[in-house]
Amino acid sequence: MIDAITICGAGFKAPSESDLRGPILSQMVDDVKKDLDEQRHIWSTKGCTIMTDGWTDRRNRTLLNFLVSSAGGTIFIKSIDASAHCKNATYLCEQIEEVIEDVGEENVVQVVTDNVANYVAAGKLLITN
């Protein structure tokens, strides 16, 4: 970033907060949507892997992260604050099923999770559903 700024020279005027919030943010949102559409096409032709893991942040919140990996790369799908929920197999299975539905069940080749007991049990529930 610093190299890019130096190339612009001393007269470079940085974008204003309004620019960053408005047109630049809108363009970035459009770019992310386009990338996601390209990824979805790859998922439908080559399949994909859903990856999930839980962790606790500095505020002691339990967060569940969901990513999708495919031949087109890995993309972050969502993060859930699960602090108010019991992280049992049923809850985890429900959250994973939502991501599977969003990705398209026909596109999912495998689901990769942590190997702790609640995720293992959630995986067994997924298989039986």
Each residue of 55-98: pLDDT tens digit?
888 988 889 999 999 999 999 999 999 988 888 899 999 999 99
29-128: which CATH architecture? 2-Layer Sandwich (3.30)
Mean pLDDT over 32-49 rounds to 94
CB atoms within 10 A of CB 118: 18
- Type and span of the H or E element at 50: strand 48-56
In DSSP terms, which residues pair with 56 in a beta bridge? 62
Q: Model-level pTM?
A: 0.77
What's the pLDDT score for residue 128?
87
The per-residue DSSP string of 56-123 comes to E-TT--EEEEEEEEETTEEEEEEEEE-TTS---HHHHHHHHHHHHHHH-GGGEEEEE---SHHHHHHH
- Locate the domains of the chain by residue range: 29-128
Question: What's the pLDDT at 92?
Answer: 93
Q: How confident is the model at residue 46 (pLDDT cuts 50, 70, 90)?
A: very high
Asked whether the beta carbons of 39 and 50 are under 8 A apart, the reply is no
According to the model, what pLDDT value does residue 65 have?
A: 95
Instruction: Output the average pLDDT for the chain.
Output: 89
Beta bridge partners of 62: 56
**Confidence at residue 20, expressed as pLDDT on a 0 to 100 scale:** 73
**pLDDT tier at 30 (50, 70, 90 boundaries)?**
very high
